[in-house]
Amino acid sequence: MARAIYPGSFDPVTRGHLDIIGRAARVMDEVIIGVLANSAKTPLFTVEERVEMLRECTAQWPNVQVETFDGLTVEFARKMKADVMVRGLRAVTDFEYEMQIAQTNHIVEPNIDTMFFTTSLQYAYLSSTIAKEVACYGSDVSSFVTPNVARRMEEKFREKHGGAAR
């Protein structure tokens, strides 16, 4: 049984992330999404909110589950008994960084391989940061995120800006 983890902050989960998750779910027996609880960052959504949104967005794939972790991704992979780490590549610039991380992870844990998925063209520009920037100014993010995530982003920015998005 091939088990993969797909680690990230998912703040918030985008349609690009879901594209990678769906494709990984087709080729792996099990995909565990690892939501990073990074205390050094100040995310828009709490870890619990990100997990809940991911569970809503991935309910269509019975072989996908969502967990949280902190610390080294390789340690999370070991704990989950994963064989593979899934990573998405949007551009050549992502490749250099991801290759370096994959090689480091392989030295730390030689039994875990990294599988790269190139992002589908329609999402190649998309990141969580872009989605948040657009939402912050009250613009439509429906092409970036699912309706449940868009609604939550709108609520967050309304709270943040005292009743209205900027």
Locate 12 and state its tokens. 């918030």
Cβ–Cβ < 8 Å for 150, 143: no
Handedness of CA 116, 127, 9, 61 (dihedral sign): negative
Encoding tokens for residue 43? Answer: 């995310």
Burial of 22 (0-12, 13-18, 19+ CB in 10 A): middle
Residues 6+ apart with CB under 8 A from 147: none
pLDDT string in tens for the chain (166-residue length): 899 999 999 999 999 999 999 999 999 999 999 999 976 778 999 999 999 999 999 999 999 999 999 999 999 999 999 999 999 999 888 899 999 999 999 999 999 999 999 999 999 999 999 999 999 998 999 999 999 999 999 999 988 776 555 4
* pTM value surpassing 0.85: yes
| Count of C-beta atoms within a 10 Å radius of residue 87 | 23
Question: Which positions ≥6 away from 87 have C-beta within 8 Å?
Answer: 6, 98, 101, 102, 114, 115, 116, 117
Name the residues annotated as catalytic: 17, 41, 90, 128
